[in-house]
Amino acid sequence: EIVLTQSPGTLSLSPGERATLSCRASQSVSRSYLAWYQQKPGQPPRLLIYDVSSRATGVPDRFSGSGSATDFTLTISGLEAEDFAVYYCQQYGSAPITFGQGTRLDIK
Partner 1 sequence: EVQLVESGGGLVKPGGSLRLSCAASGFTFSSCSMTWVRQAPGKGLEWISSISGNSNSIYYADSMKGRFTISRDNAKNSLYLQMNSLRAEDTAIYYCTRRGITVPTYDYWGQGTLVTVSS
Beta carbon of residue 37, minimum distance to partner 1 (angstroms, whole number): 8
DSSP state of 42: T
CA 106 to chain centre: 15
Q: Binding partner 1 by CB under 8 A: which of 51, 71, 82, 106? A: 51
Task: For residue 56, state whether it binds partner 1 (rule: CB under 8 A).
Answer: yes
* Residue 94 within binding range of partner 1, rule CB under 8 A: no
By CB under 8 A, tell whether 59 contacts partner 1.
Answer: no
Q: Is 13 in the site for partner 1 (CB under 8 A)?
A: no
CA dist 23 and 29 (Å) reads: 11
Judge whether 49 and 62 are in contact, CB under 8 Å: no
